[in-house]
Each structure stands twice: as structure tokens, then as C-alpha cells.
Structure 1
Amino acid sequence: MSSCHLTPYLQFTRLDEWLSYLENLHTKEIDLGLTRIKQVADILAIDLSFATVITVAGTNGKGTTCAFMENALLGDTTHGKANSVAVYSSPHIEHFNERLRINKRDVNDAALIKAFIQIEQARGTISLSYYEYTTLAALLVLMVEKPNYIILEVGLGGRLDATNIIDANVAVITTIDLDHQSFLGNDRETIGFEKAGIMRANQNIVIGDTNAPKSVIAHANSLGDNGRVYLRNDNFCIYEETSTEATSSWTWQYQSTSFTKLNSPFIPRDNVATALMVLLSLGIKLSTAFINQIIEKTKVAGRTEVFKQSNGCDIVLDVGHNPQATRYLAGYLQKMKLTKPNSNRKVYAVVAMLGDKDISNSLLGLKDEIDYWYTSELNVPRAAPISLMTEKLNAFTNNINCFDNIGEAFRIANEQANTDDLILVFGSFYTVAAIRQQLLIN
């Protein structure tokens, strides 16, 4: 091994030093493929066979589906003792350590650095991307901690994502829509094929998309054990029970099993439905009371996350950055307006996006719900320039305010909004991260 590969081991003692090193280690930020990571994983003898592993892919809804399963498994006593549950996800909002949590606690710096050193000593001349390297580090930490359950959120696609070196017990597909087209394809069928690549034979397969592409269903059925394929609206479904302006209850059903009078969740109900099917397929004991308990617990940072100001308007943070996500946000805002039906509530949008996203259709999904737009350019290499953001907004509105940075855009929106109004911050993990830090400090 050449001395250059030992440099981090000799010099880097802080996590931020390691992360800076990893950011410049590989020629491409996104470089799909399993050849490189498999080679290093074999050298490191990566093995998660001690745990029940659930891999979750999809365009939207992965993080909230994982969070609901995490809370349910932590609260489960089916086998007479408490479970240990780990979740690996990306990207993070504020701190890198958020990417791996075990029993709801983020991994510490020391465990990550130890894993980085192991990888650096093992990889030799094999070049790894930032995501491949950090995924291997998470897997090494999990081999030390040995939780009962491991939930792996797929980063991009599925078939060629770094997490797919692991053979999971359960494969989950949340939704399929257009995003990352330059890597995954330009239509739902092609993207669905890539997402379906996480599936294996002799595995529980849960498909939560209400209109799953044929490519996903065909791949699931081709694996031979159709009795272990659970398809939304064919095998499990949800029904509306009662609905008022502010509250609703619903029923979840699979064959003869049903749970009624379920509370309205803080996360998308479709993702709760998918998570419940996963849990039932694993033999977890469920009841309406238990499900409602988990519904109340499950709130996820940056996913329709509400901050209520004591002397100002409500603020909603959401990392949504594609057309499917903003269509969901539009429906969410309609419900939020119903909570103050006589207030003439106005909605202020604070938005900044990455340039490789479908900006036009993402913004169009919200055009009927937003009264005033506040936009800026993110301080990251892939950021959409302010000229592009204004060009896309000008297609349907004249109420556009431009700023040098997203913090300033939010500050002015917050000053101009009235107490009954609402501010939506969305468009990217980077956008939400910048504003969420301010809100937490205040």
C-alpha cells in the first residue's frame, strides 16, 4: 500500500477533516455501480446476516416510511424483549452523523472515524465515491453494534446504489416518479426498473405505489414467490372513514386483517400504509392503539415539519424537490388552510433548488397554493442560478422577490407575513437545512 493511502490515518483526527478528504477522493460526485464498493466490502468482510434487514427505495416517502417502521420496531414487544433498531439514510439536514442512527441516537464521530480508517487501509488503489465510502463506514459500525433490525434507505435508484450490496430480508418500494432522470431514465417504467433492482428471490417485497409501473410488478413477480409480494390496492389498501375540516380517521386492511379509527398522521398516510404492510409481513403484532401511538410519535425533520411561532405565522419546512413531492405539498397546504377557514390565510413560499431538478414542474405543482414567492440561489455547486429560478416562476406569477441568499429571503418573508399566514420553505435539503438551523436557534 502506498504511503498516500495512509495519510488520513496519520493526520486526520476530526470528522470534518475526514469528510473534506472524502469529498475530493473520487472524480465524480455521483458514480453509480457496485463493482468498486463490492471489492472493498469483500476485503472488509461486510456481513449483516445477524439482523433483519429492510431496504427502502422510491422517489419520495423513503425517509418517513423508514421513520415509522423504526418507531414501531422500537415499541414492539412481539418477542418479549425490546428491539435494537438502526436506520441508515441520506442526505443529512444539519450534521453528517444523522445518516446513521441506532435506537434513535446518531452515530458518534469516533465510530465513524474508526470505520474510515479501516476502509482507507483496505481499499488500496480502489477509488470510492463519497457515498460509497460513507455507506461502507455505516455498515462497519453496524457490524460492531449488531442491532436486531437494520433499515437501509436507498440513496439514488436502487439497482446500482451502494446499499444494494446487502441482501435484505424485505425490499420496499414507496413511490415511483420523475427525478434524477439523467441517472435513472426519463419515464416511470425505466425508473421503476432501477428501483426494483433492490428485490431478491425468497424475500418479502412491499410495493406502496398506488399505481406501480409494470416494470416494478413484473420484476417482483419474476422472482417466483408471488405469495410474498404485497402490492398496494391489490393486497393492502386504506379507506377513508370520517373527515372534517381539520381531522380525519381511516382504516388499513390486508385480507381479513384491518385496523379502524386510525388517526391522521404527521407524515403522508400512504407511507404509513406501506410501513404497516412491512411490519405485518415480519410478524409484528399490531393493533389500532399501537398504530395510533406510533402515528403520534412519528414526525420527521424537514418533512412537512411545522414550526409554530409564538408571535408570528406558522412555518412549514419540506425537502420536496420534484413534481410528485410538490403535488403532495399542494394538498397539504389546502388542508392547512382549512384549519383557519375564516382568516384569509396567505402562503409565502421560500424556495431554492438544484439546477438538475425538474424546476418547472416542481414549481407548477404549487402555483395555485402560493400567494408570494421568495427565491435565491443556494451556495452549492449544483445550485440553480437565480436567473433560472425567476425564469421558471415568471411562467405563472408576477409575485416574485429575489435575494442574495436563502436566509435573507426567509427573513423578509417572515417580516411581511401576518400572524394567520403561513410560510413554506422547500426545494432542497440544502434550503431546509439553512432555515431550520435559524429556527432551532431562535
Structure 2
Amino acid sequence: MSTLPTTLPAWLALLESRHAETVINMGLERVRAVKDRMALAFTCPVIMVAGTNGKGSTCAMLESMLLRAGYNVGLYIKPHFLDFNERARVNGELASDAQLVASFNAVEAARGDTPLTYFEFTTLAICHLLAHAGMDVVILEVGLGGRLDAVNVIDADVAIVTSVDIDHTDYLGDTREAIGFEKAGIFRAGKTAICSDPVPPQSLIDHANAIGADLWLMGRDFNYAGDKQQWNYGGRSQRRNALAYPSLRGANQLLNASAALAALEALRLELPVGAQEVRTGLVTVELPGRFQVLPGRPSVILDVAHNPHAAAALNQNLGNMGFHPYTYAVFGSMHDKDIDGVIAAMSEHVDHWCLTGLPSPRAATAAELAAKVQIVQPERPERTINCFDDPAQAYANAMSRCGENDRIVVFGSFLTVAGVMAARKSSSH
């Protein structure tokens, strides 16, 4: 038996090297077997959140409101931008290296000779950490799909599907019906199942009914209404009036907030949350990389929009920002995304493209992105297209060219946004 790593960076390096060979192996039998050997179970309510877009925002709103109400809240969210610890939050604080190492050791001790992917291993470790942290409620974000995601070895008391759109077609299918079925896999018999997509796929409804889940649909079981100043939530038995808009900006945030409030309504006997705590929680919620407007000039917007649905929302948000003479885009993407659809959704606002490669074998090259921009975006006066090896170079170029009244939007893959975050962090030291 070789000695195990004692630091978090060494552990992560080991997992990456060990699982470089492990393809995504569909099926939960291995993960469930290790979970059972670990006797991994939660003694508090668990809220699980899946969806094509909006799941991170929904998790962050739930965490913020529940923390305001004085509960001990655990959160598993992904991926991370700068530090792996961002994936595990205990009462709003990042888990420590020591906590994560202890949980990695626990998974390794139970694993035996069962192979686990990086994602499966780290999911079990973070669930172990949160299960032993004395939490009143735990929020788990699903990575990919739902039915076969490693998080789904946990039974949620409340399961939320935020939106169903086309993404990850290699794994999930290429229709909303196929993807809806995958996401509905997190629903459980007799438990609350919430879908905040205004047009839910029939496959999701059918699956919830077939297993006997208690399905809450937007427009049927809960809804929202609002004006410019405030908004109201109406559920099955609970109304929340005169709510402030969430501090997360964007077109779909009231759908996400409504799903979060429906979850709190379903859990109101176990975890009551008052009106003021809801208001304050929504106003103070923060989530990096989701239409995040950085302070200062020129305006810099970070957004992990990497599919056409998210890019359309980003485009709408840019349109609501007021006038900027020029918009510079720092854009990088994985090869398997609908890149044409993303470019088309953004072409209304982008004048200057700073395209970047990314540190992943799955990434499209900057030259491939440039070829697509030239086809998809109609010629614009003064339009420019430039290619760079990495996000830091692309961002530096945009900064060097743009005026203080212009804006830079950094979007696409998480790696695009993370690369710019890291560059900004190192230049500020």
C-alpha cells in the first residue's frame, strides 16, 4: 500500500493522474457500492438541483436565504474557478484543505479496488464531508444530467430541475424530451419534485407521475408576478409578497428564485424561513461568473454562458446595460458545444472578438472559433477578430484596446472565465 497524499494539491494531482484513463462510465453501481461501504447518509433534509442552466444560481439563493434564517447549511457546487475548495461550502465558507483531505482518505479507505472517476471520487468525498459537518440542511448541485450523475446516489428530500435545454448531447441525447428524462432521474417516490422550466418536457412529467413523486410545476403549483420595483411568489399554500429582486442579474433569475422558494415552501415545517430572511437572502446572494459585473471601468462582465440558451440570456442582459460604444468579447469554448448557436446569440452586441484556446483536449482552437465567427456573424463595420493561445492573453489584448466607456464580456467555458479571473488576481498582487 503506497502512502496516501497528505495535502489537497497532492491528492488532486493523484486523482487526475489516476483517472486520466477513466472515461465517463455510465452507471451508478460502483459509486453506490463505495457509498454503502462508507455508510454515507444524511440526517438532515437534502435539496438536489439539476438543470441545463440556472442550477448554480438556484443553489446560491437557497444557501443565502437559509443562512440568513440561522441554519447550518452545506453546499456542493461546481465546477470551481480558482480553488477546488470552492466546491464545498460549510455555512458560506469554503471547506478547508484539512477537511477535504480527511474525506478523500475516507473514500480511499472504502474504495478498495473499485475504480472511480475524478468526479465520482470527489463527489463522495464532499458528501462525506457535509454529512459529518453537523448541518441542518445540505444543497447538492448535479453535474451532468441527473439520472446517472454521481450525486444521484443520494436520495433528495426535495429535487429541483431548473431548465431543460440542449447541452452535452453526447451523453444526454439531443432532444428536450430525452434530456428531460435524464434530469427527472433525481426525483424520488413520495418526495417533492420541482420543475421551474415554464415548458417542461412531457418525459419529465411522465417520469415523476410514474414513480409517484410529488410534482410541482411552474404555472400550476407555483408562480411569480412582478413589476419594476418588486415581485411576488405564490405557491400551493404560501405567498411571499413585496420581494426584492435577486442581486444575481439576468432574465431567468425569477424562475430560479421561484424554484428556491417552492423548495422552502415544501420544507417549511422542518426549516421555516421568515419573510425578512427571504428578502435579505435574495438581495445579498453572490455567485461568481454568472453575469458578474466587475467594479471599475471599462465594464467587465464574466459569464459562463456556453450554450445558446445561456448565451441568449447573456445577450439580453447586455442589452439592458445601457449604451457602450464598443463591446469586446473574450470567448473560448469546448469543441462539443453548439458554438454556432452561441455566436449567433451574441452577435448582436459583439464588435471585437478576442478568441482563445483553452487548457483542455476538448477545447476548440481559437482559429476554429474565428472561422465560425466569420460565417455566423454578419459583417459589421470595424469588426475585428483576433486569436490567442489562452484567456489571459485575449483579455490583455481587449483591455489594451478598449476605451473606458466600452465593455469587455468574458464568456463561454468555465475555463475561459477562470483564466481571466486568475490573470486579474495575479496582476492585482
Instruction: Please indicate the TM-score interval, normalised by the length of the shorter structure.
Output: over 0.9
Indicate the RMSD between aligned Cα atoms, in angstroms.
1.7
Q: Which of 387, 395, 401 is equivalent to 2:386?
A: 401
Matched, 1:224 2:209: no
Q: Which of 345, 366, 370 is equivalent to 1:386?
A: 366
Partner-residue secondary structure (3-state), 2:247: coil
Q: Which of 221, 233, 240 is equivalent to 1:252?
A: 233
What residue in structure 2 maps to residue 138 of structure 1?
126
Q: Which of 294, 300, 303 is equivalent to 1:307?
A: 294
Alpha-carbon distance in structure 2 between the residues aligned to 1:274 and 1:136: 26
Q: Which of 2, 7, 24 is equivalent to 2:2?
A: 7
Matched, 1:197 2:197: no
Structure 1: tracts of 5 or more residues without a match = 1-5, 77-81, 338-342
From the superposition, tell whether residues 275 and 345 of structure 1 become closer, same or farther in structure 2 (CA, over 3 Å): farther
Following TM superposition, by how much is the alpha carbon of 1:344 offset from its aligned partner in structure 2, in angstroms? 4.7
Alpha-carbon distance in structure 1 between the residues aligned to 2:113 and 2:328: 51
Matched, 1:211 2:199: yes
Which residues in structure 2 correspond to 1:59-70 (within 5 Å)?
A: 59-70=52-63
> Quick one: which amino acid aligns to residue 391 of structure 1?
A
What residue in structure 2 maps to residue 237 of structure 1?
223
From the superposition, tell whether residues 52 and 257 of structure 1 become closer, same or farther in structure 2 (CA, over 3 Å): closer
Alpha-carbon distance in structure 1 between the residues aligned to 2:102 and 2:147: 29
> Quick one: which amino acid aligns to residue 46 of structure 1?
L
Q: Deviations over 1:309-346 (max 9, x none)?
A: 2xx21111011111111011011111112xxxxx5532
From the superposition, tell whether residues 188 and 130 of structure 1 become closer, same or farther in structure 2 (CA, over 3 Å): same
What residue in structure 1 maps to residue 309 of structure 2?
324
Comparing 430-439 and 343-352, the one that deviates more: 343-352
Matched, 1:368 2:348: yes
Which residues in structure 2 correspond to 1:335-374 (within 5 Å)?
A: 335-337=320-322, 343-374=323-354
Partner-residue secondary structure (3-state), 1:145: coil
Q: Deviations over 1:67-112 (max 9, x none)?
A: 1001111112xxxxx3110001221111001111110111111122
Alpha-carbon distance in structure 2 between the residues aligned to 1:421 and 1:263: 30
Kept after mapping to 1: 8 A contact 2:233/2:240? yes
From the superposition, tell whether residues 199 and 8 of structure 1 become closer, same or farther in structure 2 (CA, over 3 Å): farther
Alpha-carbon distance in structure 1 between the residues aligned to 2:190 and 2:217: 16
Following TM superposition, by how much is the alpha carbon of 1:287 offset from its aligned partner in structure 2, in angstroms? 5.7
Partner-residue secondary structure (3-state), 1:155: coil
Kept after mapping to 2: 8 A contact 1:70/1:87? yes
Alpha-carbon distance in structure 1 between the residues aligned to 2:338 and 2:22: 21
What residue in structure 1 maps to residue 112 of structure 2?
124
Q: Deviations over 1:25-59 (max 9, x none)?
A: 233353332011111111111111x1100111111
Alpha-carbon distance in structure 2 between the residues aligned to 1:356 and 1:274: 29
Comparing 390-399 and 159-168, the one that deviates more: 390-399
Q: Deviations over 1:110-141 (max 9, x none)?
A: 12212222222222221100001011111221
Partner-residue secondary structure (3-state), 2:81: coil
Taking structure 2 as the reference length, the TM-score comes to: 0.92
Alpha-carbon distance in structure 2 between the residues aligned to 1:393 and 1:18: 40
Alpha-carbon distance in structure 1 between the residues aligned to 2:109 and 2:226: 55
Kept after mapping to 2: 8 A contact 1:44/1:119? yes
Alpha-carbon distance in structure 1 between the residues aligned to 2:3 and 2:206: 46
Partner-residue secondary structure (3-state), 1:73: helix
Q: Which of 30, 33, 49 is equivalent to 2:27?
A: 33
Alpha-carbon distance in structure 1 between the residues aligned to 2:265 and 2:326: 42
From the superposition, tell whether residues 422 and 8 of structure 1 become closer, same or farther in structure 2 (CA, over 3 Å): farther
Kept after mapping to 2: 8 A contact 1:208/1:232? yes
Taking structure 1 as the reference length, the TM-score comes to: 0.90
**Percent identity of equivalent pairs:** 38
Comparing 109-118 and 21-30, the one that deviates more: 21-30
Q: Deviations over 1:166-189 (max 9, x none)?
A: 111001100000111000000100
Q: Which of 53, 56, 63 is equivalent to 2:46?
A: 53
Kept after mapping to 1: 8 A contact 2:68/2:280? no
Following TM superposition, by how much is the alpha carbon of 1:288 offset from its aligned partner in structure 2, in angstroms? 5.2
Number of equivalences: 415
Alpha-carbon distance in structure 2 between the residues aligned to 1:55 and 1:388: 37
